Structure 1
Amino acid sequence: MIKKRVFTVLFLALFSTSFSAFAQTEPEDIAMATDEYQDSFYESLKQKGIENYDKAIVSLEKCIKLKPNDAVAYFELGKNYLALKQYQNAQNAFEKATQLDPKNKWFWLGIYDVSYETKNYALAIEIIQKIIVFDEEYKDDLISLYMITNQYDKALTAINEMNDKFGKSSDREIYKAQILSQGKYQNAEIDNLIQQIKKDPKEESNYLNLILLYSKNNENEKSLEVAKQLAKEIPTSEWAQVSLFKTYLDANQAEKAIKSMNVILASSKIDSKIKHRTLNEFLIFVNKNPQYSADLEKAISYFDNDKEVDVAKEIGKFYHSKGQFENAIKYYEKDLKAHSDTDLETNMLLLEAYSQVKQYDPMTKRAMMLIEVYPSQAQFYYYAGLGSNQIKQFKNAKTVLEMGLDYVVDDIKLEANFNIQLGEAYNGLGDAKKKEEYFLKANELLKKKK
């Protein structure tokens, strides 16, 4: 942020003609040399104080006639012109002051104020670089100017220099995040962080920032390497557990891996992408080592409030793809209980999994419930009919299948399956003619599909 400078007026009785002793002192703090000069100068300060800037300017012009090389009078003149928004006059006065006394930062700040107010940022940058020679903390103003003028590479360099010398500041961190949101500047920051780690290997934040940058770029191997380095230098770090978890898992040291995983998943510092990757690696491990299923259940509970990913559903899909339908059912049911009991995708997957393991009673009950929620979703009528046939509720099967058939559109396979189940329903009801009619229709549809 651009600094706000406050100028304090101190009235002194005497004033030396030499300003060398006051080179970096606020010019208003300097006393008057002669009675006439003193009277005019005090009058200018008084008029400025009550915002009579025109009158203050008249008094200062008298001072300049008495002392043509008086840098302080020119500086005060510039401030009054600036207050009147007479920017060119203000700049001319400040420039005269700097010519007379180029080592006084306040005079340069006068020009800086004019350039900033007039949005002459090129001049503002030029002037602030002169001021930094006197006071390096003004480099924060330079950073702000670089941000305003979209000179992000220069801003990033200056931010890193200031952080290194004076420590981090909230403003600089905001600017840095803004710059790094644009990928092309991330390589420069990665190089900077690598150097910072070499310089101070015990500073955890540099490792974390580097891991996050690699993670955003999907450079997972590099991210893991940094985590390993962190684990070596600062083994108590929560982020160090990311590396340790992988090491323990690869070495089949399950108990240690689980302990590290629980630290990772409970951490408020660790990025959610890293947590999801950790859980996924443990899921693959548990698939081969089912004795640790209870630990997987606990791990999933850390994601109960995750708004980005339905973790239980994704684990259900994992088991589904492996043909482990009973495990899939467990996680689909867990997801529906924790989130929305009527989620369309999860229910479709759950009904398919029920059918694969012949759990027809819960399949029928859920499908009938879902028909009330999604009255035009043909799949739910099909599963309700299929389940009803299997539990010998043929009348119910006939009713729901006939209703659902009206909602089948451009899906020959599903239409054929409806006809097969209607044939089964009529067979159960003892109507052989209708049974043959629906089976023949299903057969014709399946021929079309081929």
Structure 2
Amino acid sequence: MAKNLPHSLDAERSVLGAVFLNPALANALTDELRAVDFFDPIHGYIFEAIDALNKEKKAIDYSSVSGKLDQMGKLEEVGGIQTLIELSNYTVALDHLETYIDLVRSFSLKREVIKVTQNIATQGLTTDIETDEYLEEAERLIFELSKKRKAGDFKPLKEVVQAIQEKLTFLQSHKGGITGLTTGFLKLDQYINGLQKEEFIILAARPSVGKSAFAIQLALNAAMKNKDGKAGVAFFSLEMSNEQLVTRMISNMANIENSKLRTGFLTSQEWKQFEAYSERLNRLNIFFDDSASSNLSDIRAKCRKLAQEGKLDLIVIDYLQLIHIDARTQSRQEEVSRISRSLKQLARELSVPVIALSQLSRDVERSSDKRPLLSHLRESGSIEQDADIVMFIHRDEYYEREKSDAGDTEIIVAKNRQGRTGTIHFIFSANYSRFLERSDREE
């Protein structure tokens, strides 16, 4: 069966032989291919050796590649330096390298499609799996393959200018108003121009400062105040249950203390408020997922399904460091970096804003004024890199426990690729999980 799988040994020999004829082509080769793209395992080993030397910025020739293969314990299996010399004979013209690379990658993708579809068929035939779960897993696997197709061509300048003209026309027709989803907070909207499509937004704070409450209110406001109350919000909570989330929403809207909703000791008036605002909540398109074991693939599949149904305008994830990934990583920092990049890609793929909550490191508590900085983002510098907007929640009362908690809170817009940075003053009422912007007069 393996011999019948799509492949071209001549194309594989040609791309490898080209590097020995012109070592400067190593970058093009290693940028576009992986060792697993080669059908012949011997060719895969040779590619790994070339890739390793290229990353080490060392010379690439017959001697250095054979030396690297010897270090890998694969030189004898490959057939020695003679095999490397023979590869050059298969390269007809260096000008055709891109064609050979495309062939190798194309056949590799076909083999992956065959493998995945066979696995899907086997799973359906041999396991007792629910239909919905089976379809979701099949969709996820096929989607992962589709991402491996070659990236699109360059866009000519004319097309980009036309897109900018269309955007400017849209902005002019809105007379300076916000162009994204409104957050429900006037000043915050002025700073970030609303929650923009494709933006990856980080909301970070130390534990118990109120980041979950703020995220809940952003989700609630986005659902209520956009598209005539029909905007769709996907809320992934890896720490709190769905009931806890909705309880906070009801507390926020109905002006009933959280503690009363947890104990059930409501006055007759509060029961009326509870029923009235519960009815209003029922009309909103907010979709919850409180699976503590959610991984990136699950989140992507569920969001993709909502988007296909036209029910997705915002994604909120509470919180980033609790997301699992399927692939093995060498360190926690690398894992968080992959999660961050994937969430940015998700925002671009589905063309919706993604808000991800993040923890701050303890270093913020060692600073003199306890004010968070971008360098305090926990476990990965790539979070700062990937994010379009980074917002911090800061409360002096959190660090000065002897002070009475007046609820004074700062939302610090520390990074904003497309707009202003600065501090917006809020009042946070923990009993009602509610944030209110201070008026200009109060400030």
Measured against the shorter chain, the TM-score band is under 0.3
Superposition TM-score, scaled by structure 1 size? 0.19
**Which is richer in helix?**
1
Superposition TM-score, scaled by structure 2 size? 0.19
**Which is richer in strand?**
2
